[in-house]
Amino acid sequence: MKRILIVGNWKMNLTIHEASLLVKRLSDHIPVHRDIEVVLAPSMLALQPISREIDQRKFHLAAQNAYYKDEGAYTGEVSFTMLRGIADYVLVGHSERRIYFNESLDTICNKVQAAIRNDITPILCIGENKHERESGETKRVLHDQLTTAIANLTEDEVERVVIAYEPVWAISTFGNGIPAKPDEIHAAIKWIRSILGDLYGEQMATDMRVIYGASVDTEFVPSILGLEGIDGLLPGAASLNYAKFAGIVEAAYKMLHSGQKS
C-alpha cells in the first residue's frame, strides 16, 4: 500500500520566526507514522532555516515554486538547482500561480522537467474553474493540463510525479465556498487515472500518487481519503493551524487503520 501523503501549503504567510514556531508545535502534536508522509511547504524565505530544524523522521519539505532555468541572469528567481538538498518536493501549476501569475501550460511543463532534472518530486496541481465546470469542460481541462505538463518526460520520469487535483471552483478563495462532493472528487480522480492508463498502462496509472486539495479541513478527511484512487491531501489554510493540521494527519491515520481505506 502507498503511504498517505499530506502536504501543508503555507502560501505567503508567516515570518521565519512564526514558521519556526509552527514547526515546533507541529512536531509536538504529530507523531511519526510509517504509513503517512507529512510534507510542509513554507515560504521560500523560511524554507532553508526550517530545513535545519525539522525532525526528518516526521516531516519532509516542499518549495511552493521555483524557476525552470538552472542558473542565469534572472533577478529575483530561485532555481530548482538551488533547492537541491533542501526540498524533496515542489508545487507546480498551483491554481494561484496559474491565475495570479499567468503561468502557461508551457511554463508548467518546463517547471516539471526542471524539478525532475534536479531530483525534486513535482506535485503537479491541476483543476478546472467554475466556468469550465459549468460549461462541461472539466474532462478537457484536466486532460490538457495533465498531458502538456508531462509531455517531455520519459515514462520512468512520469512515474515520479505526484498529481494534485484541486478544483478551483471548490477553493474558498476563488469559488463559492462550497466543498466538492465525494462523488464529484471521485469522478475527477477516476478520469485522471484513466488518462494515465491510456498513456502508460493500467499498472502505472494505479501506482502513481494522486492527491486532493481544495478547502481541505479535518472533518472532510475520512470522506475524501476513503475514496478509491486518492493517496493524500493538500490542505492550505488548515495547515497554518497546528491543531487542525495535526488533526488532519491523525484523522488520516485513524481512517487508514480502521480499514476504511480502499
Task: Give catalytic residue positions.
Answer: 94, 166
Amino acid, res. 165? Y
Q: What is the DSSP letter of 84?
A: T
The DSSP result for 228-257, as a single string, is TT--EE--SGGGGSHHHHHHHHHHHHHHHH
Contact 50, 73 (CB under 8 A): no
Contact between 85 and 120 under an 8 Å Cβ cutoff? The reply is no
Burial class (CB in 10 A: 0-12, 13-18, 19+), 204: middle
Amino acid at 52: R
CA dihedral in degrees (186, 190, 193, 194; nearest 10)? -170
Give the Cα separation of 186 and 193 in Å (integer). 11
